[in-house]
Amino acid sequence: MVAWQLLCIIGVAFAILEIFTPSLFFLNFALAAFITAVLSLYVANKFALALAFFVMSFLSFLFLRPLILRRHSKETETGIAGKYINKIAKAEEEISEFKGVISIYGERWDARSADKSVIPAGCDVKIVKNDSLIMYVVKSEN
């Protein structure tokens, strides 16, 4: 079997592994295998190809993986941060730095003023932080 064919098979195997393990770990090896497969069309030395594969894998871990993870984490924000933070809610009771209640999505939450101001009942508020069961809010500009 020719080296480029073997490297392409290895690249496809790593890509399939990446599909089943969503950690962006095997993607680096798949990319390195495909680049090394193209390089093998010009270089016949197997030691040089193996070295190129390891170097490309290492560089991919150093540079590509952090970029992909950073972009991926921004797009898939979930949990409290994704559902509530920076959203507009309604002040059900007066909100101060010590007490208050808001409602959002039909749910009632204890709230505190993030900037220590007093927010009257009925105002729209923006949720800026969550600490366990307490939402910290500021008066909305709207």
Q: In whole angstroms, what is the distance from residue 107 CA to residue 125 CA?
A: 15
The domains of the chain are located at 3-75, 80-139
pLDDT tens string 87-132: 999 999 999 989 999 999 989 999 999 998 999 999 999 999 888 8
Decide if 102 contacts 108 (C-beta within 8 A). yes
CATH number belonging to domain 80-139:
2.40.50.140
Task: Look at residue 36 in the predicted model and tell me its pLDDT.
Answer: 95
What is the pTM assigned to this prediction? Answer: 0.51
For residues 43 and 79, give the distance between their C-alpha atoms in angstroms, rounded to a whole number. 49
Closest CA to 138 of 104, 68, 73, 89: 89
